[in-house]
Structure 1
Amino acid sequence: MPIPIIDLFAGPGGLAEGFSSVANDNGDRVFSIKLSIEKDAAAHKTLTLRSFVRQFPLRQLPDEYYRFVEGEISLDELYQLYPEQYTEAQSEAWQATLGQTPSEEVDQRIVTSLENQNDWVLIGGPPCQAYSNAGRSRVGGINEEDHRVYLYKEYLRIIARHHPSVFVMENVEGLLSAKLNDEKIFGWILRDLADPSSVFGDHNSPGYRIYSLVKNKVTKHSDYLIKAEDFGVPQKRHRVILIGVREDILKRPDILTHSEKVGLASVIGMLPKIRSGISRSYSHSEDVMKKDGSNGKKRFYSRFESSYEAWKQQIEGFSSELLSKLRMEDFTEQFPETMGAEFVKTNDMQLDEHHSLFEWYSDRNLTGLTHHVSRSHLLQDLKRYLFAALYTRKNNRFPKLNDYKLFDENLLPDHCNVDSGKFTDRFRVQLPDSPATTVTSHISKDGHYFIHFDPVQCRSLTVREAARIQTFPDNYIFCGNRTEQYHQVGNAVPPFLAYQIAEIISNIFQEDVENQNEIAMHPLLNFLLPQGRQIEIF
């Protein structure tokens, strides 16, 4: 019987995707996602769709799913063709706001979903904005009135009330240094998780041993930090991930096995080339006085024709100027004509079959690529993107704002904080031969930190490219508008990393059963043990 999973703060389902991809020798799923809770409407819709996918055997999706992917039928039509699977998906994916939805209602859903099974896994990560370095800098530190600081307590309450065998809790690196009233938050989170009854004594909760996935022996808080690029993820994503094992379980988890780093170009470099669009242009008028007393310029925006010919004329003019100043040869590549689409029918999307992630991304029934459509950008930003990509190609590093200033002051963005020194990497080209930088939800706002390394495309990354960086399989569909899709991808746990964690968790269950059987074969040992005492076999 599959091991049940309850997924809290599920986002689009990155953790669940990893766990549900672990199979036994017969090809059956080891884990079964019983309940996924998420408050965001678009992410919940994505969760429902992926739950629908899991109602079918691994890698055995019906033909109608691919008709939906290609846009031949709607999502509603797909669900109508498989009402039983859709009903199961609706039961699993629940749109609710943890911390606001009554705890009695949450508890009842969990009890119903578990169907009296005592051995199960809790996964999820409480919202992290309050702990992130960027979030703290915006508000000048952590505010004790910020409810997000305490949302982990809802996670803890569920542990105390329902006693999972194992839990997996994920959060941002900033949690390690976050303080409230001069006390490190991470320290009291560790204490609470190890002894939930100290916070919720009315639940009579067992204790938990807290483990690192990268260190056999923990000597400092940073030993709980996982660097995703060390484990085959093409992204420098650093996250705190805790494994809690109920005190009656005799097996401690293994640690993750390091693998070779995966360069960005090896996972997105083969995708169809597409161009950016031009959203608008602006011109300046006379100086005006800003509220803070500094001088500024008033902008007048105009819409800009975004046809290929108009785009090409502008980019050719920019490239001729920049290539000459950078003393680089002209392009040998052709400018791409299309901006892409929500579904691009193509065979040019497969990784090299020897690539470590080939099987992970691939679905041989796909006839094209989803979510591969470019954004339109401000005309002046396109010149900066082009300069940044050309500079990076020549120097193997992206330019900082000071490089723009030395090259051509007109390339500097017109922001009052441009000389503050806080945003020197405002335009970041992703290096082709290295793992990408962390994909965050900020990618939904603009693409300045996620500029494609190919100058002729002159654009930021698409949703599908961001999804590949996050290791979502190519048949993973994100619901909602494009901004919502970017937001979901940026907030997720990389599924391939989650898959490796899930394999470790599955071994805990398998080996604990073996250890329990060995103890049962020694009645004298059991006789000598005081009632209620547990053996630790490490």
Structure 2
Amino acid sequence: MATYNFIDAFAGCGGLSEGFKATNQYKTLAAIEWEKPQVLNLINRLKTRWDYPNADEIVMRFDIQRSEELLNGWSDDGDYGSHPGLNSLINNKEVDVIIGGPPCQAYSVAGRIRDENGMREDYRNYLFESYLKIIGAYRPKVFVFENVPGMLSATPGGVPVTTLIRDAINDLGYTIIDDLRTHAQINLAEYGVPQLRKRVILIGLRNDLYENPQETLLDFYSNILPQYKENTRTVRDTLFDLPRLFPLDTIQKIGGKKLSHSYSEDQAIKNHMPRFHSARDIDIFRLLAEDIEAGRNEYTSTEALRNLYTRLTGKNSNVHKYHVLRWDKPSNTIPAHLYKDGLRHIHPDPEQARSITVREAAKLQTFPDDYEFISSAGDNYKMIGNAVPPKFAEKLALALLEIL
């Protein structure tokens, strides 16, 4: 069985690489990530699950924009310490695949709405250039570029970002599919991910290795990848086996941490502790979940939810703050914003009256149950929301085997 070497750029906590490694046909040569909590989690996972004793070396905590140092090494950096560089890690090994997705905030429609300049001046618009420098340095057979659908309409500097990316890819001697809107937008719910999550998946082929790259890509998107579709999975399918966590009669403290709910004492179930909720929020969560469970549906419209928020908090909001997950539907998108609050990811069981736990967010993102998140709850929510769902990543990796 062939094994393919890959580099993971913008690795996060390893959602994309987790799926590739689950096939047992890909080997991590290096992973690049600049946020410390994500790096620590990825190192822990590579050591404890994938038996990489050199994980501290191959997971590089560094700013990918510092391309020359990334490749050739850096020393005595106050933030990032020292490292001999990516070239030293690769050491003339063949790089078959490079995977990654530059941070998506600058391309997201929601982000552009919130930003007074429409994110046009955000440096993250151009992080793809750093990613492509790595591709140019190691010339993989194939690369994977993942991002949000908003990238298809982003125009930093007045030029569509897709034009900038396509031109840069062409200059490197690679090809991506011509019609991105038709073929590269993937609904991950069709691939066993129990949430409404659409992403743009760009597959780049090295021109000198493929007789007709466009035909190969069209076959990949139209025939090869769709073989891995499966029936839609729901919140109930995903969360049914976790212990129920109920509001406490009185607030408790454990290790200085305030608890409003019970938590799982099963040591085999990691990260299944609710965040603290006020009595007011618990009442709101119970009301909203009961409204849906009873079939009244008094609070399912945007206007009703906004009015409820104003009546109970005395504040106004242009968007509705609350959303209850539905048992028999996929979840709404699991976002990085979960680290701020869980108001748009309320558990559907009114008796539990809470937002989802880190473990529930991870399961809805299809992280394996044995993936233990070792950082603060806020950091854990953020890295989970930013990740590529490992189940989809595994199917993508299997599909790529057919064109490698």
- For normalisation by structure 2, the TM-score amounts to 0.86
Q: Is the 8 A contact 2:309 2:315 kept in 1?
A: no
Instruction: State the alpha-carbon separation in 1 of the partners of residues 305 and 118 from structure 2.
Output: 35
Residue 16 in structure 1 maps to residue 17 in structure 2: yes
Q: Is the 8 A contact 2:32 2:60 kept in 1?
A: yes
Q: Is the 8 A contact 1:118 1:165 kept in 2?
A: no
Q: Is the 8 A contact 1:400 1:427 kept in 2?
A: no
Paired AA for residue 210 in structure 1: I
Tell me what 2:319 maps to.
Answer: 423
Matching residue within 467, 470, 478 for 2:365: 470
Task: Tell me by how many angstroms 1:143 deviates.
Answer: 4.3
Tell me what 1:306 maps to.
Answer: 251
Alignment of 1:100-139 (within 5 A): 101-107=66-72, 109-139=85-115
Residue 38 in structure 1 maps to residue 62 in structure 2: no
Task: Tell me by how many angstroms 1:183 deviates.
Answer: 2.6
Task: Tell me by how many angstroms 1:400 deviates.
Answer: 3.2
Paired AA for residue 208 in structure 1: Y
Matching residue within 307, 329, 332 for 1:437: 332
Tell me what 2:275 maps to.
Answer: 375
Tell me what 2:289 maps to.
Answer: 389
Q: Which moved more, 1:488-497 or 1:170-179?
A: 170-179
Task: Tell me by how many angstroms 1:133 deviates.
Answer: 1.5
Deviation track 1:398-450 (CA, whole Å, cap 9, x = no partner) reads 623533578x7875432233xxxx313x1100111111110001111111000
Tell me what 1:90 maps to.
Answer: 56
Pick the structure with greater CA Rg: 1
Does the residue aligned with 2:86 lie in a helix, a strand or coil? helix
Residue 246 in structure 1 maps to residue 206 in structure 2: yes
- Structure 1 residues 190 and 233: alpha-carbon distance in aligned structure 2, compared to 1, 3 A threshold: same
Identity %: 32
Tell me what 1:334 maps to.
Answer: none
Task: Tell me by how many angstroms 1:181 deviates.
Answer: 3.6
Paired AA for residue 241 in structure 2: M
Tell me what 1:289 maps to.
Answer: none
Matching residue within 206, 230, 234 for 2:194: 234
Tell me what 2:349 maps to.
Answer: 454
Q: Is the 8 A contact 1:51 1:93 kept in 2?
A: no
- Structure 1 residues 486 and 123: alpha-carbon distance in aligned structure 2, compared to 1, 3 A threshold: same
Residue 48 in structure 1 maps to residue 43 in structure 2: yes
Residue 506 in structure 1 maps to residue 404 in structure 2: no
Tell me what 2:301 maps to.
Answer: 400
Instruction: State the alpha-carbon separation in 1 of the partners of residues 106 and 189 from structure 2.
Output: 25
Deviation track 1:49-85 (CA, whole Å, cap 9, x = no partner) reads 11113543xxxxxxxxxxxxxxxxxxxxxxxxxxxx5
Residue 339 in structure 1 maps to residue 262 in structure 2: yes
Task: Tell me by how many angstroms 1:494 deviates.
Answer: 0.1
Q: Is the 8 A contact 1:43 1:479 kept in 2?
A: no
- Structure 1 residues 97 and 394: alpha-carbon distance in aligned structure 2, compared to 1, 3 A threshold: same
Task: Tell me by how many angstroms 1:480 deviates.
Answer: 1.0
RMSD in angstroms over aligned alpha carbons? 2.4
Q: Is the 8 A contact 1:471 1:495 kept in 2?
A: yes
Instruction: State the alpha-carbon separation in 2 of the partners of residues 272 and 185 from structure 1.
Output: 45
Paired AA for residue 26 in structure 2: F
Task: Tell me by how many angstroms 1:389 deviates.
Answer: 0.4
Does the residue aligned with 2:143 lie in a helix, a strand or coil? strand
- For normalisation by structure 1, the TM-score amounts to 0.65
Residue 494 in structure 1 maps to residue 395 in structure 2: no
Q: Is the 8 A contact 1:234 1:435 kept in 2?
A: yes
Instruction: State the alpha-carbon separation in 1 of the partners of residues 103 and 15 from structure 2.
Output: 14
Instruction: State the alpha-carbon separation in 1 of the partners of residues 180 and 99 from structure 2.
Output: 23
Point out where structure 2 has 5 or more consecutive residues left out of the alignment: 74-84, 254-259
- Structure 1 residues 41 and 104: alpha-carbon distance in aligned structure 2, compared to 1, 3 A threshold: closer
Q: Is the 8 A contact 1:401 1:412 kept in 2?
A: no
Task: Tell me by how many angstroms 1:245 deviates.
Answer: 1.0
Q: Is the 8 A contact 2:337 2:382 kept in 1?
A: yes
Count how many residue pairs are aligned between Structure 1 and Structure 2: 374
- Structure 1 residues 386 and 98: alpha-carbon distance in aligned structure 2, compared to 1, 3 A threshold: same
Point out where structure 1 has 5 or more consecutive residues left out of the alignment: 23-28, 57-84, 197-206, 212-217, 279-304, 309-336, 346-366, 510-538
